[in-house]
Amino acid sequence: MDDKQRRDLMTGVRDIAPILLGVIPFAMVSGITAVGAGIPKHIAMLMSLSMFAGASQLAANQLIGAGAAWFVIIYTALVINARFVVYSASVAPYLQSLSSPAKWLYAYLLTDQGYALSVLRFRRGDNLDPHLYYLGISVTIWLTWQVFSAAGIYLGSNIPEHWGLDFAVPLCFLAVLVQALEDRESIVAGATAGCIAVFALPLPLNTNLILGVMTGIGAGLLSEHLRHRREGRF
């Protein structure tokens, strides 16, 4: 690896570092919740390693603790993770030269934070190797998540409740959201998705999330279409 490749890799590590302040308590909450739901510690750790999806892990842990049926748990996790289909389609053009095994690895490492930072960088046209930049971000998040998930799983009973780690879950996603709202279309999409997801909260099996995502995408596309019409592009 030459000097530029090392710089590109480390740029990813540096860019994600501030966001880890939200990832760390989020990972600990996930680990604590798993054990609190009655999941054996070694199984909870295997879940963290295999799923590597904070929001769906948290939801699955809560449903397991509530005694939900397995098909409900699996369906909920799939619904929550459906957003990664959109992420994958968006980031794919920048990583298309990878081999198939590498693509599978990068798909496993895909996170909200990694996606948001990578796409913002790629769209700016920075002189970075997209593979190494993405890898620097993703491996850093993965290591942080696994270490602090383990801390929550194995040391959670020793963490004082007054630390209030639950705040980290919305904080972690807000940090990503703010960076992604870079133009009118993204603001319209984000606001629409958030409002619909909240208003549709009574819907069963977390389908409000899918509804929010789909309407947000539609609103963003409509906003872009209207802007192009005003500009006389078509």
What percentage of the chain reaches a pLDDT higher than 70? 87
> What's this model's pTM, rounded to 2 decimal places?
0.75
Residue 110: the pLDDT is 94
Residue 106: the pLDDT is 94
Phi, psi dihedral angles at 68 (to 5 degrees)? -70, 155
Please tell me whether residues 143 and 209 are part of one structural domain: no
Please tell me whether residues 30 and 92 are part of one structural domain: yes
Please tell me whether residues 194 and 172 are part of one structural domain: no
Segment 55-82 shows an average pLDDT of 84
Of the candidates 169, 188, 182, the residue with the CA atom closest to the CA atom of residue 116: 182
Please tell me whether residues 57 and 128 are part of one structural domain: yes
Is pLDDT at 81 greater than 90 in this prediction? no
pLDDT tens, position by position, 192-227: 988 998 999 898 766 787 788 789 888 988 988 888
Please tell me whether residues 78 and 193 are part of one structural domain: no
**Token digits for 145?**
């998540």
For residue 233, which amino acid is it? R
Please tell me whether residues 171 and 195 are part of one structural domain: no
- CA dihedral (37, 27, 164, 157) in degrees, to 10, reads 50
Please tell me the distance from the alpha carbon of residue 42 to that of residue 77, in angstroms, as a whole number. Answer: 20
Please tell me whether residues 166 and 234 are part of one structural domain: no
Please tell me whether residues 175 and 185 are part of one structural domain: no
Please tell me whether residues 134 and 33 are part of one structural domain: yes
Please tell me whether residues 120 and 21 are part of one structural domain: yes
Please tell me whether residues 167 and 194 are part of one structural domain: no
Is pLDDT at 78 greater than 90 in this prediction? no
Please tell me the distance from the alpha carbon of residue 64 to that of residue 197, in angstroms, as a whole number. Answer: 23
User: In which band, very low, low, confident or very high, does the pLDDT at 36 lie, cut at 50, 70 and 90?
Assistant: confident
Segment 91-116 shows an average pLDDT of 91
Give the domain-ending residue among 159, 180, 201: 180
Taking the CB of residue 43, how many other CB atoms lie within 10 A of it? 12
User: In which band, very low, low, confident or very high, does the pLDDT at 190 lie, cut at 50, 70 and 90?
Assistant: confident
Please tell me whether residues 192 and 82 are part of one structural domain: no
What percentage of the chain reaches a pLDDT higher than 90? 34
Residue 180: the pLDDT is 64
The domain in which residue 219 lies consists of 181-234
Segment 73-95 shows an average pLDDT of 85
User: In which band, very low, low, confident or very high, does the pLDDT at 71 lie, cut at 50, 70 and 90?
Assistant: confident
209 CB-contact burial (10 Å; exposed 0-12 / middle 13-18 / buried 19+): buried
Residue 116: the pLDDT is 86
Of the candidates 172, 192, 31, 82, the residue with the CA atom closest to the CA atom of residue 74: 82
Segment 149-154 shows an average pLDDT of 92
∠ CA 131-108-84, nearest 5°, is 95
∠ CA 216-114-80, nearest 5°, is 45
Number of domains in the chain: 2
Q: At a CB cut-off of 8 Å and minimum separation 6, what does 19 contact?
A: 113, 117, 172, 175, 176
